[in-house]
Amino acid sequence: MRLTVIIPHYRSQTLDACLSSLEQHTASDGIHVIVVDDGNEGEALQEARTKHPSAEVLHNTQRLGFTGSCNAGLAATSTPFALLLNDDTEVTEGWLPPLLAAMDADPTVAVCQPKLRSASRPTFFDYSGGAGGYIDSLGFTFCRGRLFDVVEEDEGQYDEQVPLFWVCGSAMLLRMEAVHQVGPLDLDYFMHFEEIDLCWRLRLAGWRALAVPKSTIYHHAAQSLPPDTFLKVYLNHRNNLVALLKNLPFPRLLWLVPVRAALDVLASISYVTGGRWRSTVAPLVGWLWILTHPVNLWRRRRQSQRLVQAGSQPTEGVFGGSALWHFYARRRRAASDLMPERP
């Protein structure tokens, strides 16, 4: 057995569909499935126990969030590979062999992802991860198939297997050797941006990330937190800043932090003018957390910077310009406009 599939579960009603798709499209002797219950022994989990007895169920003694649930599964993994899989996903026929083949072909690849499509709009990319993630010079992330709030239809434009900067945590295949080297997901994120931070640390340690579009998985987005809630917007803003402060070289932070502070003020203003009242103060509260937790940030930065290999910051999957500028000023609406596909 080479693979453990780790499914964090809190309250989603799609767990049965996820497990059923795994049973239908995966050889039963090829994977070990672990469902990590985050303190919510509800009807969905009871149904899963009855209908899918081969799946192992772990229980968190307290709510740990997506990040803590994933780490609990990783700690229980003894196989060479682990797949973090959201409980609101459904795999498709032939989803697994291309992912494992990509890992086998290049031992420097620590993490890869399939093509993620929307379960509600099956011809469109999934909002959260699309066909793999990039980052720009200001630390804003985007993905192949979704640039800010514009999601593309899948017309084969991202069918090349290319290097990435980050891989979406909705369906994230990890080489456990690499995870043991850099450590698991950072618990302090709770949820949102934790997979990007893990990919960043893997990249700092010399590992690579890869898109594997020959594999396809469907995702029901926004099951954990509805969009535009205060908590979701707050975590997105705060955790993005934390990742920058942890992983970027200090000289770059000297100019980037003031720029990001100004952009977050503009973001708050845009939430007001757009009528998104619950989101208005979220970026500012994120900055308040940053300013009041210097020891926490210094500790996490030291742990991350110890991983840096001789050389420079990772360049694969990095857009040297500003995605924000190209989106709003130049009206670019596709990731391929910024990062042209290379065979």
pLDDT in tens, 207-243: 999 999 999 999 997 656 666 789 989 999 999 999 9
- Residue 310, pLDDT > 90, answer no
Q: Average of pLDDT values for 184-195?
A: 92
Distance separating alpha carbons of residues 150 and 227, to the nearest angstrom: 15
What order of strands is seen across the sheet that includes strand 318-319?
150-151, 146-147, 141-143, 133-136, 318-319
- Residue 300, pLDDT > 50, answer yes
pTM of this prediction?
A: 0.94
16 Cβ contact partners less than 8 Å away, ≥ 6 residues apart:
44, 47, 48, 51, 52
Q: Average of pLDDT values for 147-151?
A: 93
Sort 172 into a burial class: Cβ within 10 Å, 0-12 / 13-18 / 19+: buried
pLDDT of residue 20: 95
pLDDT of residue 343: 46
Q: Average of pLDDT values for 268-284?
A: 90
pLDDT in tens, 110-137: 999 999 999 999 999 999 999 999 999 9
Paired tokens of 123: 């011809």
Please provide the average confidence, as pLDDT, over all residues in the chain: 92
Q: Which single residue is written with the structure tokens 């997506």?
A: 66
Distance separating alpha carbons of residues 210 and 213, to the nearest angstrom: 10
Distance separating alpha carbons of residues 141 and 23, to the nearest angstrom: 33
pLDDT in tens, 163-175: 999 999 999 999 9
Distance separating alpha carbons of residues 74 and 317, to the nearest angstrom: 26
- Residue 339, pLDDT > 90, answer no
Instruction: List, by residue range, all CATH 3.90.550.10 domains of the chain.
Output: 1-87
Pairing of strands 171-175, 163-164: unpaired
Instruction: Name the CATH architecture for the domain at 1-87.
Output: Alpha-Beta Complex (3.90)
pLDDT of residue 224: 61
Distance separating alpha carbons of residues 37 and 62, to the nearest angstrom: 10
DSSP state of 334: S
- Residue 63, pLDDT > 90, answer no
